[in-house]
A and B are shown apart, each in its own frame.
Chain A
Amino acid sequence: MAAAGQDNSFRDGKVDINADFPENGTNNGASIQDVDLLDEEDDRKPLASPGRSPNKAIEDDKSRSRSRKPFHYPTNRRTSEELDSHSTLATYNRYRYYSRLAPPDDHRMRIPDHIVPATLFYPPMFVDQSGKQGSLITIFSIWNTMMGTSLLSMPWALGQAGFVLGLVIMVVMAGLTLYTCYRVIKSVEGVDQEGEVLEFSDVCRHYLGRWGEGCSVFFSLSALLGAMIVYWVLMTNFLYNVVSFAYENINAPGNETSASTEVLCPLNSSYTPDNGNLSGMFHMATPGDDDTFHHVWERVKTVPFFLVILVFPLLNFKSPTFFTKFNALGTMSVVYLVVFVSVKASQWGIHLDFSHTGKDVDVTVASVYFPILTGTLSLAFFIHNAAVSICRNQKHPENNGRDLTIAYICVMVTYVIVGAVFYASFPKDKDCIEDNLLNNFSNTDTLAFVARVFLLFQMWTVFPLLFYIFRLQFMHTLFGSTYPSLVHVIVLNLVLVGVCVIFARFLPHIGTIIRFSGAFCGLAYIFTLPCLVHLVRLKQAGRLTWPTGVVHGFIILLGLANFVGQFFFLNKT
């Protein structure tokens, strides 16, 4: 038996079979050779010396070898069956051999990065990407992100479904969307590999193939587009009202009343078709003044285009980080709206008449128009595309489910406050409630005016952000780069702005836009994709059972019904 060399010294200068350059012996880096020799050094005694049984020698060697070999060296019969492990072992074997041939600073024998097995690039301390985000921040982020423009439409949507039925539907929808959102987050955890930063669209690609990813991107973009259109319509509305008020104040000061508790019922107000003010405000200008200003400044006909001048310059920025600084405005506007609704409600008192005695405002308890509410809520409770990013940095990811639930409850409560309280206290016919609740207030109402200014400014700063995210996803999916060229970007911006303007001109009903885009996007993102991914995952793990399949299939059908249901009520603006 050949005994391993135990001496550390480098004997050079002696000619042997394979040494080529006599001077090489001294030049070898001591560190690597030392490491290798250390292995053999422990075997001070030769493996089989006389008086020592071979078996004992083998046992001794085994126990020593188990303790000092690297983790993937198959000293014990671990069944690592994958082909991959054989080639990884082969790579390691080569690495060991080549490192002995050259000093460590010789680049020729150094293992290149692309050969090192990928798992070695992510030591455990980096895979664990738990951030410093506490539960409270996560809950707040979720709440903040979900609170959007659908807040303004809540009372109207609630009324469409009927008061009691509406509240029931709110709770049910909140629970349903919470469940699917939880599924979304859980599914990402299941796929998370090699420390890659994953989004739900990656999960869709993993389980459902390219079309799954394409679907998720497409529907995500459509939700974004819906939000942008709503923003545009609202911005035109607020801009119109604010400028009209300012103009009227300048022209006919002292004519206004402030803090009026008067509530408008725009459906009954006089409007002329060519003015296009379908649910418009009647302005207190005298007929004679109409011509120039109000001809130029029409809410539906011209203001959308004026808005382009204000907004378009902001859209061509490469990086929107500047706009993220205005994020706080969003929260403040929500808080302001809640306060606003509470103040108005306290001024009006409750006006609910369930028994139609005529003493008070009639209340519909349940109505066949409830899909309008479900469509609106689909957008109101939509956070599935951002949930993964928000929950990624949780300090304690095991609390994701709990935090998500709390956040959803908070959101639901906010919506209920704004929706139900406003609805309950609205002093006129409940059918008057507009899909933008601020439309029920004249532009001289101080609180409403403040709300309009506030929201206008907030939307003006958030709109470029929405635009940017849309552009990012769109460009990346189609062209592989986020800023392919200035031409691409400008063309996309023009197209998107064009779409917004067209909607603002011809269909400025945010209720319709919200419910259609909510149902459409929700069809895929809230109902179908999370359930499909979950079912595929269970199937792959072999844990798919009939009840689970039926329940999730039912959820998918609900999503489809939600979408189809929107088309039945096209006349309800």
Chain B
Amino acid sequence: MPLRARLRIARCLHQLQGCAKRRNPLIAKKLHALIIKAGLNESEYLYNTLVDVYGKCGLFQDAYYLFEEMPHRDHVSWASILNAYNHANLPNRSLSIFPTMFAFDRLQPDHFVYASLVKACASLGAIRQGKQIHAHFILSPFCDDDVVKSSLVDMYAKCGLPNIARVVFDSILKENPVSWTAMISGYARSGLKTEAMDLFSRAPVRNLYSWTALISGLVQSGHGIDGSYLFIEMRREGVDIVDPLVLSSVVGACANIAVLEFGKQVHGLVIALGYESCLFISNALVDMYAKCSDILAAKNIFDEIIHKDVVSWTSIIVGAAQHGRADEALALYDDMVLAKVKPNEVTFVGLIYSCSHAGLVSKGRELFKSMTEDYGIKPSLQHFTCLLDLLSRSGCLDEAENLITAMPFEPDEPTWAALLSACKHHGNTQMGLRIANKLLSLNPEDPSTYILLSNIYAGTGMWERMSMVRKLMAAREFKKEPGFSTITFGKEIQAFHAGETCHPMKDEILSLLKELDGEMRRRGYVPDTSSVLHDMEEVEKERQLFWHSERTAVAYGLLKSVPGTVIRIVKNLRVCGDCHTVFKLLSSIVHREIIVRDATRYHHFKDGKCSCNDFW
């Protein structure tokens, strides 16, 4: 080839490489045109580089056309196109074009190609293909390549196979932080806490990325508390937070374990570090404040977000729904549609849920229909449950029963129990008895189902059936999960268990509770013992209710927290009917807002009323 042509090629190459660095698609296209006009198409180097440049600029279609056009493709071409697809978030394309490498080009993959393919499998969670590629890799001359091995560790970790990942990890010859981080992440994500911490403590390099891998993995696998403690330790070690992913993981942990105060501390840190405008952190904060029962703060964060995405909208809508603010949730949805953001399944769960708590039957039906017809979302069991809830509570019992039998999911005990409870509430005895018999034949597990059944039979005078149910209940020996409540304010967090407490402030708590009890009875309160499980004397039942953990918790809160502030309690079980009444009264007696998060929803008790409208 003449010198001049070679020089031109060299110059073009240089410019293309600069282009790849700067990711400038316009210049890439200009150079491409120049190459064609100058008749330099013969050069493989140029083609390969051009494919790579187009890939890096995000023009993967063009990269692929060029790739197809190429008369002679080599490993570099393949590596470039596969990387292009991985970068463009189309790993499935990477996998689908790969077979032609053998078929048409008669090439075997090299280590770059293997690495790209494994990465594609990792993104897709395609473990079958991944294992095939792994096998191929072992048999190839590149089987000792550490980069491919690191990618394999990452892939097995992402596909939930940490033990296999460990085997590959141990076979890596030269240590590198990438593989250590991937392995730690793999263990953490699978919930293998001890292994993850063990490896982390032995890691040669502990930087932000390994910390992040450990913390986010643990939070994801449900170990929020451990994740939070590790974050505190990370702060103590003075690790600079140059990348905010770890912050959003910790905020997520706060949401799951409902620790508002720690969440506020992290929020403060987010602001001080300058990450306030980061979208995924803001989304996490909306969710956290909502789950920690401060819906106003959640709304404030939401309003501050400039470019809200579907996660932002969904978080606030679901939050509003769980806090009983149906109108707000629906209004937000209208705004979301106006903002042209597409809702997803979770959005609709929140919306239908809020309708069910406000009795908005036609709106609920309309939303359910819109979900399937306008957005093509297949209704899940959760959606059906919410819709059933809506219909049952509003007395549309026949429609509810039809829906249960028609839906493509097997109705379970809670579904039938909910319908039965509605029958009782609306006085539909005929249907109630029919459902009760069906429910009984399912051999129910939940003790409250038995109580419901016995009350139904008692209500209709079917004493034989009632005593049969009570006998079944006694025979079953239910292991009731012990109730406990945690109360948080300021730096304090205290847990109280059901039954008489042995807390140091026991006497003050007892006298306060007695005083409040007296005041409540003066206002007409009578303890509702129908929800007490065991057969015992009325007095005993009342005593049991008196010592429910949420009551001792609220007494402690009243004694120790700053007057006038909101009292926040988290209970592990569903709040019982009697406590619900008590809390409504308490909120008006002591003029404080009390928020209780129980197993299923939030109750805001204020001025004698509850946000759930007594529908829980």
Co-assembled chains A and B: no
